[in-house]
Structure 1
Amino acid sequence: MKLHRPAAITAILASLLVAACGTSSDGRGGGSGSQTTLQIWDFSAEQVNFHKDIGAQFTKEHPNIKIEWRSITQADYMKTLPLAFQSNQAPDMFYWNATGLSQLLDQKWISPLSPSGTVPADFTKRWPEGSFLEGINVQDGKTYGFPFSENLYWGSGYMFLNKQVFQQAGLDVNNPPKTWTDLKNTCAQIKAKTKAECIAAPTKGPDMQRIWYAMISSVSTDEFFDYKTGKFDLTEPGQVKTFSFIQELKKAGYLAPGTNDKNFSRQQFAADQAGIFFDGTWLPSVWASQGFTSDKYVVAPRLNPDDGQTGAAGRKYDTNKYWVSSQTKNPDAMWTFIQWMTDPNGYFVKQYYKNAFGTLAYVDNQKMVTDPALKQIMQIGGQPGYRVQLPVPLLKCPDIAKSKAYVNALAKTPDAEWEAMGEALVSGQSLESVGAAIVKQRQTALEEGLKQEAASGLKVSMDCYTFPDWDYTKDYTKDMYKD
């Protein structure tokens, strides 16, 4: 389902709200029963049956609480959730990773995890030390979030190879392309010997991140901001070079034609109509839900430029994705569910891994993962230098927790980088010329915002965002932050 008009988005919101009404004792549904209903929203369509099972089991263990877990398409979700908050009809808990703690608090969207605002030590000890940080998921001593996905294996930047297409092309799927030139040679053979496309690469809006992250992560940083230089970097040499290579692939006919979204491209690969697809840790569960099992493809590392790896994918502390809504009327019941959901040996965790949905931050992944594709992903992601810890301005300058300058700089046309890439890919223009305006806009907003905040008393500056001693291929460790 793809609905993009405002009226259609409103209709989605209305259907979610009507469906959620019923037996709630919080006044939302008008029922007189004693059972509290918790509404949870996300956009994980492949997890609908899993969430139904989770809700049923939780209610079996907690008969006075019912879970209504709703999923819609990601594009619609990003429009529907803000409308729900504007109309004071938001769910009790929601999934959100587009912005962090500071902006969510500023928007008045979130409440602390527990009714008291603090969480006990037996809760936080489920995570590795350092998982709860002021400004990341803690503000003024109150805990608002918890790391959901771990940050070593979880993420984008993996290459998936279709066994049937590779076999038809006379290629060894266990000897994947390793460099940009290898990829071009592989594509030439697939195009010459099969009816399949070489790369099913979605290029519609933010979906372009699939191929982009698989290329740029070996060149510099997979962020649109370079913490080494303190600059928004879309038009920097490494980014321009990488995008030019993607344009090369398109010109040679190695990218599937059309401006396709991720769902179309995933289905294209699963239907043996493409040999290669780039995506992330979550993909095995998406394909499994469509009947495309892990014995039909292999997972390989991302590609390096011909002159070798000079960058790596970034690891972040901020993998907090589920938040308690500021509009919940059931904070005690919500806290009960969160504790149950994050039990490392509990039902949620066991079923999550049984369905191969990914890797969690509060679980021993080496012990729990059984899916062959996820095991391949863990082997790849666990290699030194495949993912590196990014510098964190907050750890250098604690007042960044109170700063809105960076958030405001990103808020100006949020998808502008992807839009610039899409325009350049279609027109053939250089990324440097198409992206210059957005880089200037973001950089000016950040620098001016920091200056204004510094004048008001915050200890912030561009120095907080600049780490000239960082090597793109190595972790920026805690001992590297200077007092």
Structure 2
Amino acid sequence: MNSHRRWTAAMIAVSMASLLVTACGTSSNGSGGGSQTKLQIWDFSAEQVNFHKDIAKQFTKEHPNITIEWRSITQNDYMQTLPLAFQSNQAPDMFYWNATGLSQLLDQKWIRPLNPSGTVAADFTKRWPDGSFLEGINVQDGKTYGFPFSENLYWGPGYMFLNKQVFQEAGLDVNNPPKTWTDLKNTCAQIKAKTKAQCIGAPTKGVDMQRPWFGLMGSVSTDEFFDYKTGKFDLTEAPQVKTFAFLQELKKLGYLAPGTNDKNFSRQQFAAGQSGIFFDGTWVPSVWASQGFSSDKYVVAPRVDPDEGRTGAAGRKYDGNKYWVSSQTKHPNEMWTFIQWMTDPNGYFVKQYYKSAFGTLAYVDNQKMVTDPALKQIMQIAAQPGYRVQLPVPLLKCPDIAKSKAYVNALAKNPDGEWAAMGEALTSGQSLATTGAAIVQQRQAALEEGLKQEAASGLKVSMDCYTFSDWDYTKDYTSDKYPN
């Protein structure tokens, strides 16, 4: 093991020890008027640490017998620490997780229903738009396990951020952003010629490459690694290969910041005026605000389209269920009390969340609550017809998909394989069709074989459940298209 890997392993161990020392927070003491329950919540939102401390303080003020300890670590460490916590029976009471869905979380025995009784009343679910609670998405056998936290119209990747200072130095109008791939190259040429800044602060390390990728791919076909129109994993399909070739061209021309950088380095580079353009998502304004880089120093613009025009859109999915009640909690009633408080559309959590411009919530009137200028720009962009579209949902076509593990198991094989293939192609200059062939073949074979085995066991599933040939990439796949 080299020194870097030893250091990484040591840091994960330290994080693990720190998190687990008081995990599954359950304590009682005689102070005050009686016993006090401690709830632990984990996530990786480092920029929200002070916000969470404030939330914990206010909640305990209103519920004196319950305290909240909300902990955040870096995302990469979190993805390893949380599974270890469950393995050692030291998991928190509630945790953030969006890497896998309901089916796998249930299989892993990580979660329990939101309400100790298993069901939630209408006065809770009515906080969300109709259709927010679906069997197989956040409901299983009539029991509700999750709730949409982030909404899916404004929230997501695929926005272009322009540094005002860099654009001014380059003699460019920040309010007239590049709209096409050729425009982007011309803009970069001018930034490179007239400033000391890099043009695009593009992270290209591992999964962080999703930022420039989604900033381009979302206008070509679908920004998923699976194409619901054809029923195939699509990394090596023509639109993806063409888009990645353009990213390779940007690198060759010197328009991408040099080095294999992670998202944190690239975000800081942009905030310091060392790059003029950065692709990212709805969450990044709050990250920059926490670093002292305010929204009056940049402009948000739509992602750039291919020269022939937009032929695709970013996908809207039912993936806003991000906070889950741990199966290992010893205080489900107190946890349910906090969840109801947290999701009060007019409550303290919501008001402070929007005051800090952390993003857009699924159970709130965002038009009313958003005041941050950057978030307002994001909302205006995403509200344009065809900018973000509702993806087809196999579950709504084939209800037995709720019991199927085939797709989840296919994704579990070499989880970061697509990003590794992109990294290899960007470094070597090879076509993405070449470097991505193995991961596509592996996933497709696993999905098709898994569905065949499940069908043989009696489930009504097949590849047809994942194929929607009538879908237009630029339009919502509406509910009337599903069988009655």
TM-score category, normalised to shorter length: over 0.9
Contact 2:154 2:378 in 1 (8 A): yes
Contact 2:26 2:330 in 1 (8 A): no
Which segments of 5 or more consecutive residues in structure 2 lack a partner in the other structure? none
Contact 1:123 1:339 in 2 (8 A): yes
* Deviations 1:216-268, CA, capped at 9 Å, x for gaps: 00000010000000000000000000000000000000000000000000000
Work out whether 1:475 is the aligned partner of 2:476. Answer: yes
Contact 2:24 2:93 in 1 (8 A): no
Provide the residue aligned with 2:402 in structure 1.
401
Provide the residue aligned with 1:371 in structure 2.
372
Aligned-residue offset at 1:317: 1.8
**What pairs with 1:260-409 in structure 2 (closer than 5 Å)?**
260-409=261-410
Aligned-residue offset at 1:22: 8.0
Provide the residue aligned with 1:53 in structure 2.
54
Distance 1:457 1:8 in 2: 47
What letter corresponds to residue 353 of structure 1 in structure 2? Y
SS of match in other structure, 1:111: coil
SS of match in other structure, 1:363: coil
Work out whether 1:203 is the aligned partner of 2:204. Answer: yes
Contact 1:400 1:460 in 2 (8 A): yes
Contact 1:222 1:313 in 2 (8 A): yes
Provide the residue aligned with 1:147 in structure 2.
148
**What pairs with 1:247-262 in structure 2 (closer than 5 Å)?**
247-262=248-263
SS of match in other structure, 1:391: coil
* Deviations 1:86-120, CA, capped at 9 Å, x for gaps: 00000000000000000000110000000000001
* Deviations 1:176-227, CA, capped at 9 Å, x for gaps: 0000000000000000000000000000000000000010000000100000
Aligned-residue offset at 1:3: 8.5
SS of match in other structure, 1:482: coil
Distance 1:214 1:143 in 2: 34
Distance verdict in 2 for CA 1:450–1:401, change over 3 Å:
same
* Deviations 1:22-81, CA, capped at 9 Å, x for gaps: 87139xxxxx97110000000000000000000000000000000000000000000000
Distance verdict in 2 for CA 1:458–1:98, change over 3 Å:
same
* Deviations 1:6-30, CA, capped at 9 Å, x for gaps: 343222111112255887139xxxx
Q: How many residues align?
A: 478
Provide the residue aligned with 2:213 in structure 1.
212
Contact 1:4 1:76 in 2 (8 A): no
Contact 1:134 1:140 in 2 (8 A): yes
Q: For the aligned residues, what is the CA RMSD?
A: 1.5
SS of match in other structure, 1:388: strand
Distance 2:7 2:372 in 1: 36
Distance 2:464 2:28 in 1: 51
**What pairs with 1:149-188 in structure 2 (closer than 5 Å)?**
149-188=150-189
Work out whether 1:420 is the aligned partner of 2:421. Answer: yes
SS of match in other structure, 2:325: strand
Provide the residue aligned with 1:448 in structure 2.
449
Distance 2:421 2:427 in 1: 10
Distance verdict in 2 for CA 1:413–1:208, change over 3 Å:
same
Distance 1:254 1:469 in 2: 38
Distance verdict in 2 for CA 1:23–1:443, change over 3 Å:
closer
* Deviations 1:281-324, CA, capped at 9 Å, x for gaps: 00110000000000000000001000000000000122100000
Contact 2:25 2:39 in 1 (8 A): no
Provide the residue aligned with 1:429 in structure 2.
430
Distance 1:239 1:95 in 2: 31
Provide the residue aligned with 1:43 in structure 2.
44
Work out whether 1:15 is the aligned partner of 2:26. Answer: no
Contact 1:92 1:324 in 2 (8 A): yes
Distance 2:404 2:7 in 1: 33
Distance 2:73 2:367 in 1: 31
Aligned-residue offset at 1:5: 3.5
Provide the residue aligned with 2:108 in structure 1.
107
Provide the residue aligned with 1:462 in structure 2.
463
What letter corresponds to residue 34 of structure 1 in structure 2? S
What letter corresponds to residue 278 of structure 1 in structure 2? F
Distance verdict in 2 for CA 1:289–1:83, change over 3 Å:
same
Aligned-residue offset at 1:358: 0.2
SS of match in other structure, 1:40: strand
Aligned-residue offset at 1:447: 0.2
Which segments of 5 or more consecutive residues in structure 1 lack a partner in the other structure? 27-31
Contact 1:3 1:9 in 2 (8 A): no
